[in-house]
Amino acid sequence: MSVEAVERRAPRAGAAGRARMLRSMLPAVSLAIVLLAIAWLNPRAISYFGFNLMLNLAIPIALATIAQMFIIAVNELDLSIGTFVGFVGCVTATWLRDAPLVGILILIGSIGIYALLGALIHLRNLPSIVVTLGMSFVWQGLAVLLLPKPGGKAPEWLSAIAGYKPPFIPLPIIAAILIALVVHVGLMRTSYGAILRGTGGNATAIGRAGWSLLRIKVTMFALAGLFGVLSGMTLIGITTSADANIGNGYTLLAIAGVILGGGEFVGGRVSPVGAVIGALTLALAASPLLTFMKIPPDWQVAANGIILIIVLAARVLISRRER
């Protein structure tokens, strides 16, 4: 049998690898472009205080994006992460402050519910879109029950952490690097992380090799719940008070962040570092960049959409040129 026939069907590792490299550079390149644009428009923004201000809300977004990434890594989708973040925010601003023990139990319990959802979706073979769609009502309902009107107050210790000003490097940047690093090591470098990602690529193969797919789904959903909790808590630490609708926009932002960061909907191709960069890009482009460009805030949301489209178009161009 001829070697050429085989070679032609799948491109050689070198070429495909280059295209993949190029694609994986995209998130960083887009962040760099946004940063350059900001620096050009307003050089003073590139400073300790500038970054502190601009990236203030990027960390909760990054954490929610990571949560979504865990779900997408196993070919599912979470439409409830936004309202979940809002729910966690409400718990943080009420129970966690007034009765810390109960608050902690509630938060742990909510991670447990995420794990159960993973089990339910796997065992009954349910479409995750619909289940999480229903859950988005549930979290929102619970949030409204907890805080019918905007209010509450962040626990002091949390506000203190969020307000901490480390020397030289602004806190949001340190936090972003830390999140990216921890998740990267956990998902991309550990031996069980390989199994988790492999499930997105070829679940049958993982099952045949004797791994429990149920356990994998539960793990990934629980991780998503954990990062959702972290996102809600940091959000309240920064804003200091809560609102039942505070996280609603995060569902779509988190999906966009994962995709911007080089992730794909199916196939277990995700990148924690990319996801964090994607979230930062969205956070920077949506508000500070537009402000500096003197574009009215009406177009903030559109900026997210346009960035998403540009990056996806760039991705298509790269893979087309590869052929």
Partner 1 sequence: MTALRRMASTPWIWSFVGALLIWLATVAFTGGYGGGGMITAALSLAVFMVIVGTGQMFVITLGPGNVDLSLPANIGLASAVAMTVMNGQDSRIALGLLAALACGAAVGVANYLLIWALRIPPIIATLSASFIIHSIDIAYGRGLQIKPPPGFAAFTNIQILGIPLLALLTILFTVLAALALNRMIYGRSVLAIGQNIRAAWLAGINVGWTRFATYTLCGTLGGLDGALLAGYFRGANIDIGNEYLLSSIAVVVIGGTSVAGGKANVPGIWGASLFLVLLLTMLNTFGVSAGVRLLLTGLIIVGVIAAAGGEETR
Partner 2 sequence: MAEAPEAVVNLVGVEKHFGAVRALAGVDFAIGKGECIGLVGHNGAGKSTLMHILAGTLQPTAGRIVIGGRQEEAYSVARAKMLGVRCVFQELSLCPNLNVAENTRVNHQSLRGIGWRKRAAALIGAKLDEIFPDHGIDADDIVSDLSLGKRQMVEVARAFTVTDEPLEVVILDEPTSSLDAETAGQLLAFVRRFVESGGSVILISHLLGEILDNADRIVVMRDGKVAAGNAASAFDRTKLVAAMGGAETHHKAQHRDSEARKEGPVRVRARPRQQTDGTELVAHEGQVIGLAGLAGHGQTDLLLSVFGAAGSRGKQGVEVNGPIALVAGDRQTDGIFQQWSISLNIGIRSLKRLRQGVLISSRREAELAEEWRKRIGIRTPDMNNNILSLSGGNQQKALFARALGSDAEIILMDDPMRGVDIGTKLEVYDLIRQEAAAGRTFLWYTTETDELDHCDRVYVFRGGRIVAKLNRGELTEEKVIHSSFSETAQ
Does position 306 interact with partner 1 (CB under 8 A)? The reply is yes
Over the window 234 to 253, marking each residue x when it contacts partner 1 by CB under 8 A and - when it does not, the resulting string is: ----------x-------x-
> 224 and 71 in contact (C-beta within 8 Å)?
yes
Residue selected from 9, 12, 124, 208 as contacting partner 1 according to rule CB under 8 A? 124
Amino acid at 42: N
Does position 125 interact with partner 1 (CB under 8 A)? The reply is yes
Does position 10 interact with partner 2 (CB under 8 A)? The reply is yes
Residue selected from 44, 124, 189, 323 as contacting partner 2 according to rule CB under 8 A? 189
Contact partner, 292, from partner 2, partner 1, none, Cβ < 5-8 Å per class:
none
Does position 323 interact with partner 2 (CB under 8 A)? The reply is no
Distance CA(269)–CA(273), nearest Å, equals: 12
> 235 and 243 in contact (C-beta within 8 Å)?
no
Contact partner, 323, from partner 1, partner 2, none, Cβ < 5-8 Å per class:
none
In terms of CB distance, is 206 or 307 closer to partner 2?
Answer: 206
Residues contacting residue 58 through CB under 8 Å, at least 6 positions apart: 172, 176, 279, 280, 283, 284
Contact partner, 89, from partner 1, partner 2, none, Cβ < 5-8 Å per class:
none
Count other Cβ atoms within 10 Å, centred on residue 3: 7
Does position 208 interact with partner 2 (CB under 8 A)? The reply is yes
Burial pattern 130-164, b for ≥16 Cβ within 10 A else e, equals: ebbeebbeebbebbbebbeeeebbbbeebbebbee
**Is 307 exposed, middle or buried, given 0-12, 13-18 or 19+ CB atoms closer than 10 A?**
buried
Shortest spacing between CB 58 and partner 2, in angstroms: 27
Which chain residues interact with partner 1 by CB under 8 A?
77, 79, 120, 124-127, 129-131, 133-146, 148, 244, 252, 255-256, 259, 265, 296, 298-306, 308-309, 312-313, 316
